[in-house]
Chains A and B, each alone.
Chain A
Amino acid sequence: MLTYGIVAIGLAASVAAFNRVLSQYLMLGLSIGVLALAVIGLWDFRSIHLWTPYFQMTPLRAWFLLVVGIVSTMAAWYRVGYQQHNQVFTGFWLPWFVLAMAAVILSQTVWVFMTAWEVMAATSFLLVVSHHEEPGVIKAGYIYLVMSQISAMAILAGLLLMAASLHSMNFALWAAKARFLPWETKSGVFALLTLGFAIKCGIIPFHVWLPRAHPVAPAPVSSLMSGAMIKLGVFGIVQFLLMDLGATALLWPIVLLVLGAVSSLLGVLYALMEHDLKRLLAYHSIENIGIIFLGLGVMGVGIDLHHPQIAVVGLVASLFHTLNHALFKSQLFLAAGAVEQHTGTLDAEHLGGLIRTIPGVALGFLLGSMAISALPPFNGFVSEWLTFRGLLSLATGFHGLWAASALGLALVLATTSALAGMCFVKASGVTFLGQPRQRVAQVPLGRSITAPILGLALISLALGVFPEPVVRVIGSIDPTTSYHAVSLLLPIKTTLIAVLLGIAVVALVLLARPSQARTVPRWACGGDATPAMQFSSSSMTKAIRTTFAVIYRPHRQLSRIGENSRDFPERLVYKGGTTPTWERYLYRPGYQMAWWLSKSTARIQAGPVRLYLTYLLVAVGMMLLVLH
């Protein structure tokens, strides 16, 4: 009943796109419906009867549906106060996008899965190009479309390989029988599906679409894509590869671990160099997906070694981080959208001091920054703690060099989380604090734009203070493990830490009485203070740029302008930047090769009918020769 209602509301929301208010409320209804379905599914997944045998609810699917439900509810709420061009266009496709994501999660056969997947890819492309009249948007959209089609082809090939080996298209049968496949078949499936889902997740080196597509999309769309859609790649890996296939060659979990480590470290390093808030957040999505992959890798190693305790730590860590990242990343994207609407720009180098004009959004961004930097008492801390715990149990479960490499992964994660903290000190500090760097517009924002941001922050905080119920729910997702998941969390006592921290901070603030402080001019070494003397987004990260010069290959150029410019320049123009390594050394040659190949094939496909008849004749002749 509920599901029919959800589909009906979704279609109605899509059709009603011409009426702004009606479509927004219908969209909100659709999202809440999805959320309700997820909550009922987590409560008792057997009570939900969908259209068998095409759709089916399982605890894992309910979990991912919850992720989609929360993010889309908040995005729909946010849209009530969000102004954008082409409202009708976005309003028309958004319900389709959410419905397609739900269908991907709930699908039970290959065909339904692939159809829903392609609908999701197509509608998300259309949503990315919502502002298609602006320059550069279509190009970013095309890059996204090409990448998502490569991803879909790899996934289709992987699923068909599995279906052919099992003689069934039905996922229920896969769950029962896939674990008995020979390891060669498993490896083929693993390679194809990992490639497909990794592209969708934005794992490095398949990440190029992410930092392009997110900045051009409207904020609710970015938050849905980054919070919910890229998580479906994680869903695919957990469902098909880790749960269905079971134990494989140990190589594959190690591949997941390496992909995770590379993506998390490089993701955050690239994020540090960004000055555009949304691009910065997109790179942080790459980083966090990397952290989730580390958890998945831990789970895979645990499964392969038949070590249920390690497997369940990995599962809980990755699924908990999936939800957490969905929460704080959509919160940050919505806040970035609010900044854009307020000032008309996302370039941190032009901003500053916004905490005085939009205090609610600033608070939301700050709390999101703390959560994504894994600071207690927020939820990111708990899931990153669990990931560390998983890597440590790998490190101490092995011997010699394997153990040292596993500890090395933990060090990578530690570096990542410290750099993420730095990046968010930079992002929130340069955007919201200090003195405005340039004069920008100050469009007032409505309450309905701030409320969902703060609402998400509240959920993040609640999950960080009371993580036990969540861990218990995730622990029950994998029916094969009997290990008591909650006992893993006992040593951190987040509730106690949070309460003590809260009491101490309040007491100390009351003692310090900062409200009675006198405001004085800041210290400028006796000169006049100007906004330009503050640290900017690029000067904050100068030392990182120098230290990691191998990765960034920074370049800069100082030009002197004016008559007699060598000795007495009137103006100095400084240009600096980093080299886009993957684009230049991987994608550019690949693109050129594809171009060259298609040009070469064009030569034999010149158009004259006589030529084609000759080809036909030659082909038939060769066939006869072979068959004979």
Chain B
Amino acid sequence: MLWGVQGISVVVVIMMAPLVLGITQVVKARLQGRRGPSLWWGYWVLAKTWGKETTVPEYSSWIFRVAPSISLAAMILVAGTIPWAGRVPNSWPHDLLTLFFLLALERFWVGLAGLDSAGTFGGLGSSRITTLGAGIEPALFAAFGILWAVSGRTAITPVVGHLSLLPWGMATVSYGLVILAELGRLPIDNVDTHLELTMMHEATVLEYDGRLLAENQAAVAIKYTALLGLGWVWLSPSLASPLLTAVLHIVEIMGTAALVGGIESRFSKLRYFQVPTYLAMASGLGLLAFYLVMTGGFN
């Protein structure tokens, strides 16, 4: 039962990833007074890019050609590592640190591919995303503070039911701030811009086209969906039935995607050198939540 639910949920999450991106785009457009694309926009873009001719820049090597596949594979594994029903069979990998290092693997290869394109934009992008990564990794670690405090293990498990509202709320805000940065959304990075002054992830994939670009786009979409869902998996309560829990999480993902669209319409981009402060704030909140739980006054 659990095996089946987990397997199906992983497939559903991966397949619905372009739709989740589409929801954010549509909500954003409506809030900004535009009509916006269709909800199925993400699939259409992927199909269009997949059908185009693949080109690679001169001076690039095999690194540039395999990097999208490695990022996409790492993101598929990230989606698979998350226990969508709130729990998984013990032999299914569901370790949080593995998930962090899979994100680091993706960042490493995106960064390398940026440098391999031998252009200015690629290097600019890889410098920016790796610098950002250095702040995001500890912040993610801190955001999960209450998970370590409650379970004492590194497995991804729901924490609700062991906590009072205050540390839970702080951890939720902290996690939200960190994943907005990790996913490259506003107020850290703007996915819709192609201005060299502002773009980060887009700069690393600027030279890609065709199937390689499609793989990159799919990786971005799956990362978006999986990390939005991860928040619900560990921060929201699980139902008695695994199937219902998984369905609930998937509905929650769509709701959060709409929320991100709202946030992106409400806030403008932070200055690049203010991002460390933003991430330090997120880590501080996570650490404080951990401290509250460990002193025992709030649970």
The CB with the most chain B CB atoms within 10 A, among A374, A400, A411, A433, is that of A433
Q: CB-CB contacts of B102-126 with A at 8 A, as 1s and 0s?
A: 1011011001101111111111101
Which residues of A (343-380) have their CB < 8 Å from a CB of B? 353, 355-356, 366, 370, 373-376
Measured between alpha carbons, how far is A385 from B96 in the docked complex, in Å?
A: 10
Given contacts A355-B61, A543-B128, contact A534 B55 (CB under 8 A): no
User: Which of A33-41, A50-58, A122-130, A497-505 lies on the face that meets chain B?
Assistant: A497-505
B283 at the A interface (CB under 8 A): yes
Known contacts A407-B287, A418-B104, A508 near B73 by CB under 8 Å = yes
Q: What sequence of 0s and 1s flags, for each residue 153-185 of chain B, a beta carbon within 8 Å of any chain A beta carbon?
A: 111000000000000000000000000000000
Does residue B206 face the partner (Cβ distance < 8 Å to A)? yes
Chain A residue at minimum C-beta to C-beta distance from B119: A522
Q: How many A-B residue pairs have CB under 8 A?
A: 263
Given the interface pairs A417-B137, A435-B118, A534-B119, the reply to whether A512 lies near B68 with Cβ below 8 Å is yes
Contact residue among B56, B97, B141 (Cβ-Cβ distance under 8 Å from A520): B56
Are A407 and B296 CB-contacts (below 8 A) given A504-B73, A522-B118, A535-B120?
no
A412 and B259 alpha carbons, distance in the complex (Å): 32
Give every chain B residue within 8 A of A401 (Cβ-Cβ).
291
Give the residues in chain A near B138, CB-CB below 8 Å: 411-412, 414-415, 418
List residues of chain A with CB within 8 A of the CB of B112: 366, 425, 428-429, 433
Binds A, one of B28-36, B208-216, B223-231, B245-253: B208-216
From A395, A434, A504, A542, contact of B127 by CB (8 A):
A542
Chain B nearest CB, measured from A381 CB (Å): 6
Shortest distance in angstroms between B54's beta carbon and chain A's nearest beta carbon? 4
Chain B residues, CB < 8 A from A514: 54, 56, 62, 65-66, 211-212
Q: Contact between A389 and B154 (Cβ–Cβ < 8 Å)?
A: yes
Q: Flag if B118 contacts A374 (CB, 8 Å).
A: no
- Inter-chain contact B98/A433, CB cutoff 8 Å: no
**A415-B134, A491-B155, A523-B206 as given contacts; A400 in contact with B294, CB under 8 Å:** yes
What B residues does A213 contact at CB under 8 A? none
Look across to chain A and name the residue whose beta carbon is closest to the beta carbon of B212.
Answer: A512
- For A433, the closest partner residue in chain B by CB is B116
Determine the chain B residues whose CB is within 8 A of the CB of A404 once the complex forms: 287, 290-291, 294
* Chain B residue with the shortest CB-CB distance to A533: B120
Most buried by A among B118, B134, B210: B134
- The interface bits of chain A over 385-409 (1 if a CB of B lies within 8 angstroms of the residue's CB, else 0) are 1001100110110111101100110
Which chain A positions have C-beta within 8 A of B255? Answer: none
CB distance from A231 to the nearest CB of B (A): 24
CB of B98 within 8 A of CB of A425, answer no
Query: Which of B53, B63, B77 has the most chain A CB within a 10 Å cutoff?
Result: B63
B4: CB under 8 A from chain A? no
B179 CB to nearest chain A CB (Å): 16
Asked whether B40 is an interface residue with its Cβ less than 8 Å from the other chain, the reply is no
Counting chain A residues whose Cβ lies within 8 A of the other chain, the interface size class is 35 or more
Say which residue of A353, A385, A425 sits within 8 Å of B126 (CB atoms). A425
A522 x B57 contact (CB < 8 A): yes
Q: Which residues of A contact B118 (CB under 8 A)?
A: 353, 433-435, 522, 529, 531, 534
Q: Is A573 an interface residue (CB 8 A)?
A: no
Instruction: Count B interface residues, CB 8 Å.
Output: 85
A542 to B273, CA, bound (A): 11
The reply to whether A395 and B148 contact each other, CB–CB distance below 8 Å, is yes
Q: Does any Cβ of A come within 8 Å of B101's Cβ?
A: yes
Residue B69 interfacial (CB < 8 Å)? yes
Q: Mark A412-428, 1 if CB is under 8 A from B, else 0.
A: 10110111011011101
A448 at the B interface (CB under 8 A): no
B123 A501 Cβ-Cβ under 8 A: no
Shortest C-beta distance, A374 to chain B (Å), equals 6
Interface flags for A513-534 (1: CB within 8 Å of B; 0: not) read 1111111111110000101011
CB distance from A552 to the nearest CB of B (A): 14
* Complexed CA–CA distance, A513 and B133 (Å): 30
CB of A519 within 8 A of CB of B148, answer no
B285 at the interface (CB under 8 A from A): no
* B111 cross-chain contacts in A, Cβ below 8 A: 422, 425, 429
CA distance A623 to B134 in the complex (A): 65
Q: Are B283 and A411 in contact (CB under 8 A)?
A: yes
A283 to chain B, nearest CB (A): 16
Partner of B95, one of A433, A492, A533: A492
Q: Does B91 contact A (CB under 8 A)?
A: yes
From A400, A523, A533, contact of B295 by CB (8 A)? A400
Docked complex Cα distance between A411 and B279 (Å)? 12
Q: Once the chains are docked, how many angstroms separate the CA of A511 from the CA of B68?
A: 11
Task: Establish whether residues B130 and A501, one from each chain, have CB atoms under 8 Å apart when the complex forms.
Answer: no
Q: Does A559 interact with chain B (Cβ within 8 Å)? A: no
Give Cα A518 to B212, complex, Å: 12
Query: Does residue A541 face the partner (Cβ distance < 8 Å to B)?
Result: yes
Does A540 touch B at the CB level, under 8 Å? yes
- Is B272 part of the binding interface, using a Cβ–Cβ cutoff of 8 Å? yes
Q: Which chain A residues lie closer than 8 Å to B290 at the CB level?
A: 395, 403-404, 407
Neighbouring B residues of A370 by C-beta, 8 Å: 105, 108
Contact check, B54 vs A421: say whether CB atoms are below 8 A apart: no
Q: Is B82 an interface residue (CB 8 A)?
A: no
Closest-CB distance, A362 to chain B (whole angstroms): 8
B76→A418 contact, CB < 8 A: no
Chain B residues within 8 Å of A373, by CB: 104, 108
Q: Could you tell me if A388 and B97 are in contact, using CB atoms closer than 8 angstroms?
A: yes
Chain B residues near A512 (CB, 8 Å)?
Answer: 54, 65, 68-69, 211-212, 215
Judge whether A547 is part of the interface by a CB distance below 8 angstroms: yes
A37 to B186, CA, bound (A): 59
Q: Are A433 and B63 in contact (CB under 8 A)?
A: yes
CB within 8 Å of A: which B44-83 residues: 53-63, 65-66, 68-70, 72-74, 76-77, 80
* Contact A422/B55 with A370-B108, A542-B127 known, Cβ cut-off 8 Å: no
Which of chain A's residues have a CB closer than 8 A to the CB of B94? 491
Q: Is the CB of B58 within 8 A of A519?
A: yes
B54 close to A535 (CB less than 8 A): no
Confirm or deny: B188 has a beta carbon within 8 angstroms of a beta carbon on chain A. Answer: no
Assess the B91–A493 pair: CB atoms within 8 A.
Answer: yes
The reply to whether B54 and A407 contact each other, CB–CB distance below 8 Å, is no
Q: Tell me if A396 and B152 are in contact (CB < 8 A).
A: yes
14 A–B pairs (Cβ distance < 8 Å), ordered by A = A353-B118, A375-B108, A395-B149, A401-B291, A407-B287, A414-B140, A425-B108, A434-B123, A491-B153, A491-B155, A509-B69, A517-B56, A522-B57, A543-B272
A-to-B contact residues, CB < 8 Å:
353, 355-356, 366, 370, 373-376, 381, 385, 388-389, 392-393, 395-396, 398-401, 403-404, 407-408, 410-412, 414-415, 417-419, 421-422, 424-426, 428-430, 433-435, 491-493, 496-497, 500-501, 504-505, 508-509, 511-524, 529, 531, 533-535, 539-544, 546-547
The 8 A-B residue pairs whose C-beta atoms are closest, nearest first, are: A535-B123, A429-B115, A514-B65, A504-B73, A508-B69, A418-B137, A522-B57, A422-B130
Interface residues of B (CB under 8 A from A): 53-63, 65-66, 68-70, 72-74, 76-77, 80, 91, 93-95, 97-98, 100-102, 104-105, 107-108, 111-112, 114-124, 126-128, 130-131, 133-138, 140-142, 145, 148-149, 152-155, 206-207, 210-212, 215, 272-273, 276, 283, 287, 290-291, 294-296
Extra inter-chain contacts (15) besides given A425-B108, A425-B126, A520-B56, CB under 8 Å? A388-B154, A393-B152, A396-B149, A401-B291, A404-B287, A407-B145, A411-B283, A424-B108, A429-B114, A429-B116, A434-B59, A512-B211, A517-B65, A531-B118, A539-B123
